[in-house]
Amino acid sequence: MWGMIATWRMALEGITKGAELLENGKCAGDAIEEAIKEVEDFPYYKSVGYGGLPNEEMEVELDAAYMDGDTLDVGCVAAIKDFKNPISIARRLSIEKVNSMLVGAGAEKFAHKEGFERKNMLSDRAKIHYENKIKKLKKEDIVPYDGHDTVGMVSLDKNRKMVVGTSTSGLFMKKKGRVGDSPIAGSGFYVDSEIGGVTATGLGEDLMKCCISYEVVRLMGEGFSPQEACDRAVSKFDAKLKSRRNKAGDMSIVAMNNKGEWGVATNIEGFSFAVVTENEPPKVYLTKIINNKCVHEVASKEWLDDYMKTRTMPLERK
Ligand code: SD4
């Protein structure tokens, strides 16, 4: 059995490419890297790679991580600027025994020395979003945009190796140097090939309070199905944050075990995700929450068409 699961509709083209690799016997790491690069390179996604929205200072600072479920190696970059594919840098770092998580200037120096491709990641479209936001600021305080479209993917190959990867520009209008959950093991991602893998998207500051990805892998290791493990973790942490702090940030997680079974849970309406397995062609699903449980429906053609139309629609300066 092989398969991939990923956060958000934007992962569809990536997992389709990853599936081809997995089907042809390539490893889970190659599938993840190629699939995430596809999302990083697509200019119309506002929260991953090129075209990602900038921080308060109009700089695109990116976070990414890669984890190998066989060796438990983890590599991460955080707040890195001006490199085309942060996921590839994270993968390269994952084989280092020390210095495997690098931030800012240190990450850039490493990437430069290793010959990774440089690119100005601020697109014209992202600049317009920034300028429009700045104009609105005369009326309101600066607050990070609360949309959240980090791409996180789990892959399983024919040899039962599992890998997880993430890539994000984090929150729009974040402070310079702000790092979310996406490059933090246990919070934004976790994988153990003997059990399964998980990745999260949502408000990083809250996801980190829960170490949610590790918790879901742990629950799967205790025998829960991916769906039960996801439902349990999201409802537990959503309730905990609400009781201790009166509110819980957005949290959505996707999981796959080493048999290719998958599960998804969220505390928001309208979460979408993409899945492919040996038995199921690449598909986008939408979740609904019914009685604290997440129910998944295949996205309609109308929904998919509308998604691409709104993403690529011309953007005007206000
Ligand atoms: C973060 N979890 O940096 C990420 C946000 C997210 O698109 O999912 N962003 O907090």
Is the CB–ligand 1 distance for residue 78 below 6 Å? no
Is the CB–ligand 1 distance for residue 47 below 6 Å? yes
Q: Is residue 68 part of a domain?
A: yes
Query: What's the CATH code of the domain at 178?
Result: 3.60.20.30
Q: Is residue 317 part of a domain?
A: no
Query: What is the atom index within ligand 1 of the atom nearest the CA of 149?
Result: 7
From the CB of residue 3, how many other CB atoms can be counted at a distance below 10 Å? Answer: 28
Distance 146 CA to ligand 1 centre (A): 9
Q: Is residue 306 part of a domain?
A: yes
pLDDT tens for each residue of the chain, 318 residues long: 999 999 999 999 999 999 999 999 999 999 999 999 999 999 998 899 999 999 999 999 999 999 999 999 999 999 999 999 999 999 999 999 999 999 999 999 999 999 999 999 999 999 998 888 888 776 666 666 655 689 999 999 999 999 999 999 999 999 999 999 999 999 999 999 999 999 999 999 999 999 999 999 999 999 999 999 999 999 999 999 999 999 999 999 999 999 999 999 999 999 999 999 999 999 999 999 888 789 999 999 999 999 999 989 988 888
- Chain centroid to Cα 146, Å, comes to 15
Q: Is residue 318 part of a domain?
A: no
pTM: 0.96
From the CB of residue 4, how many other CB atoms can be counted at a distance below 10 Å? Answer: 32
Distance 265 CA to ligand 1 centre (A): 16
Q: Is residue 258 part of a domain?
A: yes
- Chain centroid to Cα 177, Å, comes to 19
Q: What is the mean pLDDT of the chain?
A: 95
Which domain range does residue 179 map to?
3-312
Is the CB–ligand 1 distance for residue 180 below 6 Å? yes
Q: Is residue 250 part of a domain?
A: yes
Nearest CA to ligand 1 atom 10: 204
Domain count, the chain: 1
Is the CB–ligand 1 distance for residue 204 below 6 Å? yes
Structure tokens at 301: 């053609």
How many Cα atoms within 13 Å fall on the side-chain side of residue 197? Answer: 35
